[in-house]
Structure 1
């Protein structure tokens, strides 16, 4: 089964993440299939704009931790020590480039977020040119608390330093309304009007000649890239590997093995565990 679907619909290329049973979680195949679908739409002279969405109850719930924990992938999210940082970097950098195919495509990409766009799923959503969320949808990078650093670094490029710090120094999830209010996404709309809102935006862009769309996107992207985007992303990708192989990262993995991923994630996101000391936090001190 294809994990990313592509459909040509007149002047619109529809790209759909297609692992609905796991909320479109990222495995070894999904990032490459995503970039292949983007390349297909970009090469089609009839397509003016792409819409990126997710099948099922969510846009994307991030990396499929169960998939990697059970050893189903070719790559290890956490290696046995001593770890090989270049092996980790090569894997994560390749995925980052697949996500960035959305940014580098000649034609504009509109991302439609429903349900969740969290952890690695937020990396994908924020690489699009325009992101529109449903009011109740959630976005965030919870692994910033323990076990992750967003490799695309798009938080800072969309929000600026202070608001990016507000999100990545807490690992909070926020809903579509708050994401739009802080400028992380273009807008948030009632869930039942999300499809119509995205279609209207895509149809409006589709009336513009492709060369005009391409030139405007290139100029805007160049202004961002000139600030050192690639260097920032390389550093973030290196740090992402370090977070998973630091003492705190290894303690998180060991804890998840002992009590299960869901419990460990609840403790991480709830701030109820001291990952440095590898013990529950005593609320009295």
Structure 2
């Protein structure tokens, strides 16, 4: 970090709590090139401080995270780290996205617990970040989902299946739907949902409760539970998901999405994707009977 403009993640120590804040409020904390590494750096700072017991992850402004910044990755003409020219190099893409995945997973792998506070929405890559936390609490009217499952994405952290189980994970990823915080809590995707005006107090109470536990006790309990997830093969699943994520962006449909974003702007392309009003295979609007 060499200037204030490049600080896309803030870290502050507040007694026994390390506060990690996604800090691009003007673009709803959309994920920049720098953000994943800065998340991992903030986690490392909290991990290294013996006085910090718990981390609280949140987003500045009106939302937690809007996913990857499509102005950088989709709308910009020509190749970029997320979309190469054809023929593409899968290993180059894998190296780029695997690093991002591991940066997000620093939240999961940290020895100290992480509580994520979601207001507004945590969508697309933003849901990857939120679901890597140990405990996620949402505002009841906040939204979460992985809409790129419809075209141009595969959630590289694969946390949907580890939190929901196969059938409910399929319900989310075979539709690309968004759900509210209340629905997410009822489904078991997140710990709980509360009215937005109670969200801060709910997160603070949970963080304070855990902060009263010795650091070594917290680490042992988290490591035992994480071991069960790791034994279920999360590392292998994430490697496959990361490879597939690259394929989604370089498939014929993925390249059509990129071209549509360049021509019409990413907001229209995303709207057509999410509403199911565009056929990415034929590159034309969907007949109404098929929508």
User: 1:109-124 maps to which residues of 2 (within 5 A)?
Assistant: 109-124=114-129
Distance 2:289 2:167 in 1: 31
Distance 1:144 1:121 in 2: 13
> Equivalent residue for 2:22?
17
> Equivalent residue for 2:160?
155
User: 1:31-180 maps to which residues of 2 (within 5 A)?
Assistant: 31-69=36-74, 75-180=80-185
Report the CA distance between 1:69 and its aligned residue. Answer: 4.0
Report the CA distance between 1:255 and its aligned residue. Answer: 1.6
Out of 264, 268, 272, the residue aligned to residue 267 of structure 1 is 272
Q: TM-score by structure 1 length?
A: 0.97
> Equivalent residue for 2:237?
232
Cα 1:197–1:282, aligned 2, differ >3 Å: closer, same or farther?
Answer: same
Q: TM-score by structure 2 length?
A: 0.96
> Equivalent residue for 2:195?
190
Report the CA distance between 1:78 and its aligned residue. Answer: 1.3
CA contact (8 A) 1:118 1:142 kept: yes
> Equivalent residue for 1:213?
218
Report the CA distance between 1:256 and its aligned residue. Answer: 1.7
CA contact (8 A) 2:67 2:125 kept: yes
Does 2:282 correspond to 1:281?
no
CA contact (8 A) 1:75 1:91 kept: no
SS of residue in 2 equivalent to 1:132: strand
Report the CA distance between 1:28 and its aligned residue. Answer: 0.9
Distance 2:57 2:261 in 1: 32
Report the CA distance between 1:259 and its aligned residue. Answer: 1.6
CA contact (8 A) 2:75 2:266 kept: no
Question: How many aligned residue pairs are there?
Answer: 285
Distance 1:283 1:61 in 2: 29
Out of 256, 261, 284, the residue aligned to residue 261 of structure 2 is 256
Does 2:189 correspond to 1:181?
no
CA contact (8 A) 2:74 2:258 kept: no
Superposed CA RMSD: 1.4
> Equivalent residue for 1:28?
33
Distance 1:47 1:6 in 2: 12
Structure 1 residues 211-264: Cα deviation after superposition (integer angstroms, max 9, x where no partner): 100000000000010011000000000000000111111111112222211111
- Structure 2: state its 5+ residue gaps: none
